[in-house]
Amino acid sequence: MSYSEIYKKLHIWRLSHITEQTYLLMLSVIVGMLSGIAAVILKTIVHFVGQYVMAFGNRYCAPGGGNILIFVSPFVGILLTILFVRYIIKGSIGHGIPNVLLAISRQRGQLPSRNMYTSMLASTLTVAFGGSVGLEAPIASTGSAIGSNVGRFFRVSHRGVKLLLGCGAAGAIAGIFQAPLAGVLFTVEVLMFDMTMTTAVPLLIAALSASTVAYFLMGADVQFAFHVTQDFTLQQIPYLIVLGIFCALSSVYFLRCTDAVESWFAHRKNWISKCIAGGLALGLMIFLFPPLYGEGYWALTALLNGSNSDPLFAGSIFNTFRNNAWIALAILAVLILLKPIATASTIGSGGVGGTFGPSLVVGDLTGFFIASLCNQLGFPPLSTANFALVGMAGVMTGVMHAPFMGVFLIAEITGGYALMIPLLITAAVTYICVQPFEKHSIYARKLAAKGDLMTHNKDASAWHLMDLQKLIETNFETVQEDGTLRDIVEAIKRSKRNLFPVLDANGKFLGLIVMDDIRKIIFETELYDKVTVKELMMTFPDKDIVHSSEALSDVVQKFQLSNRYNLIVVDDDNNYLGFLSRANTFSAYRRFISQSSEE
C-alpha cells in the first residue's frame, strides 16, 4: 500500500470517528510544541553566534573604548542575509506579521511551506551579527506558517487552517517569553482573531504546549526576568500618567520614524548601495552606542537588574562619563531616538527581523529615563526598574495597539501581578494618547493603506472570502434581440421567473424585459409577430451591471446605491452569466458569518 493510499484511508477514518473540533484541539498541541521548539532553536542559535561575534570583536577594542569590529559586523550580517534570500531562497520571504495578516485576510490562512524556516535562518544571520531588530516577529511568522501547513497537511477546513495559524503565532510568542497568556493575547489583539470558545481553547492549549516545551528545554529563565521588590503606591499615579504620555510620544515617533526610514530605503533600487548605506550607518550607530547591537536585550536586562546606568556605557567611547548622571540621561534620550532609526535601517537595507523587540527596548529606555529624571530632579524616589518594565508595556501598547498583551506579558515575565495597576494605568493613557495620531498598529498600517487589512474589518473579510460565482443565479430564460413578442411568450411558458435578459447573437447582454411591463399585451395574439423584442427591451444602466471579476464588497455597494433587487452579471467581455439577488447575497453573507463564528 502506497503512502498516498494510507494517507487517504487515515483521513477517511478521521472523518468518521473524530469531530473537527476535537481534531483541532489535538492539532493545536502539535502546532504549539513545534512552535515552541522553533522558538528555542532560534533564540539559542542567535545567542551563541552573537556571543561568539562579540567575543571575537572584543579583541579589537579601541584604547579609549569602542569595539572597532562592531562597526563592520552589522554590514556583514545584512550582506549575508541578502545573499541568502537572493541566491538560496531565490525569492521574497515576506514581511513577518504583515505577511501573516495578509494571509488571514486574502489567502484563507495559507502560508507557503518554506516560511517555516526561511524567516528563522535569515533573521539569525541579521541579528547574530548585530542587526538592531527583534526575533519575535520572525518566530511568530514561522509559528504561523507551521500552523497553516499542519492544518493543510491534515486537511482541516479553511476556518481550521486559520485557527491553527493563530495557534502557531500564539505558541511562538509564548515559547520565547514563557508567557502563554501573552501569546494568546498577541493572536487576539495583533492578528485580530475573534475570541470565542472555538478559538480560545485551541489558542490556549497551543500557548501552554509551547511554554512547556520552552521550559523543559531552557529552564525557568526567561527574557529579562525580574522580581518586583518595590510595591505600587497611590502617590505614583501622577508619575505613571506622565510616563504614559511619554510612552505615547515614543510610540508615535517610533511608528513614523521607522516608516520614513524604510520608505527612504525603498526608493533606492540598487540592493548593493542599500546594503552598504544601511550596514555602515547601523555600524556607526552601534559603535557609538553599543546597546543598539542586536536585539538589545542584554542592555535591557542589565538596566533592570542593576542599580545605575553602567550598562549604557559598556564598551562605549563615552565610558569616561559613566559617573555623570546628566550624561547618562542624555545617552538614554539619544538611544530612544536612535533605536527606531537603527531598526528601520536594518530592515530597509535588506536585513530580516521584527519591531516587537525594539519596541520593548524603547519602552524600557523610556521608563528608565522618566524615573531617572524624576529622581535626579529631587522628586520622591521612583524605582527605575519598575518604571522600565511599565514603560515596556506602554510603548508596546502604542506601537502594536495591543494593551492587554503588553500588560500580561510584563506581568508574566515578572512572575506576578504586583505591577498590574501601574501597567494598566500606563497602557490606558498611552493608548488614548496614540489613537488620535495613529489609527493602526505598526503591522497593520501599510496593509490598511493598500486596502488589504481585512482582519480588522470583519464585514470586508467576509465579503472577500465569499465566492461570487456561487451566488450567480442562472435559471432565467433569455431571448434574442431579433425576436418577437411570440418568442417572449414562449420564454414565459418555460420560465418560473419574471425577468428575461436580452442577448445578441454572440451572447452579449443588451437589455432586459420585465414581465410586469408586458403583461397587458401578452394575451393579444395578433401582436405576437408584429411587436419586436427591441421595442419592449429596457436598457440596463452600467451602474447596475456586475462584472464577474468584481469584488463582492463592490457588489454590496452597488446594491446599496441601487433600488433593484437583482443585478445582471456579465464577464469582462460583456457576455451574459446570470443574476445576483439582493436577498440571496445577504443571506449567504449571514450564513458565512454564522459558520465563521459558531462555537
Mean pLDDT of the residues in the chain? 82
The DSSP bridge pattern shows strands 566-570 and 499-503 to be unpaired
Beta carbons of 131 and 339 less than 8 angstroms apart: no
Higher pLDDT, 513 or 96: 513
Q: Tell which wins on pLDDT, 4 or 211.
A: 211
What value does the mean pLDDT take over residues 430-453?
Answer: 78
Q: Which residues in the chain are classed under CATH 3.10.580.10?
A: 461-597
Answer yes or no: is pLDDT of 454 > 60: no
Tens digit of each residue's pLDDT (9 = 90 or more) over 285-308: 988 888 888 887 877 777 777 656
Cell numbers of 439, please?
A: 489609527
Residue 504, pLDDT > 60, answer yes
- Once rounded to an integer, what is the mean pLDDT over residues 272-297? 87
Cell numbers 487552517: residue: 161
State the pLDDT at residue 64: 46
User: 461-597 has which CATH code?
Assistant: 3.10.580.10
* Separation of alpha carbons 248 and 515, rounded Å: 64
Q: In this model, does residue 526 exceed pLDDT 50?
A: yes
Higher pLDDT residue, 53 or 286?
Answer: 286
Q: What is the pLDDT of residues 240-261, one digit of tens each?
A: 999 999 999 999 999 999 999 9
pLDDT at 257: 94
Cell of 559: 446594491
Top-confidence residue, 47 or 376: 376
* CA dist., res. 142 & res. 135, Å (int): 11
Q: Where in the chain is the domain with CATH 1.10.3080.10?
A: 3-218, 234-454
The predicted structure's pLDDT at residue 394: 95
Q: Which helix (H) or strand (E) holds 352?
A: none
Most confident of 131-145, 245-259, 403-417, 509-523: 245-259
- Nearest alpha-carbon partner for 104 in 193, 199, 230, 210: 193
Instruction: Classify domain 234-454 at the CATH class level.
Output: mainly alpha
For residues 66-79, average pLDDT: 80
How far apart are the C-alpha atoms of 344 and 133, rounded to whole Å? 8
C-alpha cell at 20: 473537527
* Span 556-583, pLDDT tens digits: 777 777 777 888 888 888 888 888 888 8
Nearest alpha-carbon partner for 134 in 318, 290, 362, 336: 362
Q: Which residue has the higher pLDDT, 2 or 530?
A: 530
Q: Which helix (H) or strand (E) holds 153?
A: helix 136-153
> What sign has the CA pseudo-torsion 270, 272, 277, 278?
positive
Number of other CB atoms surrounding residue 325 within 10 Å: 14
SS (H, E, C) 379-438: CCCCCHHHHHHHHHHHHHHHHHCCHHHHHHHHHHHCCCCCCHHHHHHHHHHHHHHHCCCC
Q: What is the DSSP letter of 574?
A: -
**Distance (Å, whole) CA 397 – CA 297:** 19
What is d(CA 266, CA 275) in angstroms, rounded to the nearest whole number?
A: 12
Shortest CA distance to 472 belongs to which of 381, 584, 315? 584
Sheet holding 479-480, edge to edge: 479-480, 499-503, 509-514
Q: Is the pLDDT of residue 364 over 80?
A: yes
Residue 546 has pLDDT above 90, yes or no: no
DSSP-assigned beta bridge partners for residue 61: 67
Please give the Cα distance from 329 to 447 (Å, whole number).
37
Altogether, the residues listed in the chain come to a count of 599
Mean pLDDT, residues 320-341: 86
Q: Domain 3-218's class?
A: mainly alpha
- For residue 63, what pLDDT band results from cuts at 50, 70 and 90? very low
Q: What is the pLDDT of residues 196-234, one digit of tens each?
A: 777 888 999 999 999 999 888 887 666 666 677 777 888
- What pLDDT does 423 receive? 93
Q: Which one has a higher pLDDT value, 520 or 436?
A: 436
> Does residue 459 carry a pLDDT above 60?
no
- 120 falls in which pLDDT band (50, 70, 90)? confident
Phi-psi region of 372 (alpha: psi -120 to 50; beta: other; left: phi over 0): alpha
